[in-house]
Amino acid sequence: MADDWQSDDPNLELGLERVMELDVEVESPIEIGDTGDGQRRIIPILGGTVTGKIEGEVLDAGADYQIYRDRRPSELVAKYAIETTDGDRIYVENRGMRFADLEVSERIREGKPVDPEDVYFCSVPEFEVATPELEWLENRIFVATGTRQPKGVRLAIYQVG
């Protein structure tokens, strides 16, 4: 009976549609230190590109606020802005987590390359817009997967539906 728990109801299926990919360039971390919950660091966002249903650039106007932990997932809260090729601006708040074993985590922290297969890196971006044509970004749930690059991060953002 343990295998009978899943419903055949097609309305309960979850689909993902890839809507955009971001290549984000970051600055060296600003180390705050051990705050009791982990090593707090702020990573300034320098810019980047956006491709997909939304085309444009990541503006030099944000940062990734991280709490790095040794044996637990690191907490990530990135706040930044996108400017589309049409000149519209989108505010992004992306909350997530990254987890890897100690050796891989240390290489990430030092800015060294790591195999993306060795890292769990997922987030839930939320968007704020002022343009009616982009309001769909505020009315959907999105999830993202990420990979750490030598000087930044690559994110693939999916609409849940």
Q: What residues have CB less than 8 Å from 151, skipping those under 6 apart?
A: 25, 26
CA 35 – CA 101 distance, rounded (Å): 22
Q: What is the pLDDT of residues 100-132, one digit of tens each?
A: 888 888 887 787 888 889 999 999 999 999 999
Q: What is the pLDDT of residue 127?
A: 99
Q: Which two tokens stand for residue 83?
A: 């400017």
Mean pLDDT of 45-66: 98
Which amino acid is it at 61? A
Short-list 158, 85, 86, CA closest to 125: 158
Q: Does residue 44 have a pLDDT over 90?
A: yes
**13-160: CATH architecture:** Beta Barrel (2.40)
Q: How many CA atoms lie within 13 A of 56 on its CB side?
A: 15
This prediction has a pTM of 0.89
Beta strands in 10-71 (DSSP E): 16-26, 30-34, 39-52, 56-58, 62-68
Q: Does residue 1 have a pLDDT over 60?
A: no
Burial of 133 (0-12, 13-18, 19+ CB in 10 A): exposed
Domains of the chain, residue spans = 13-160
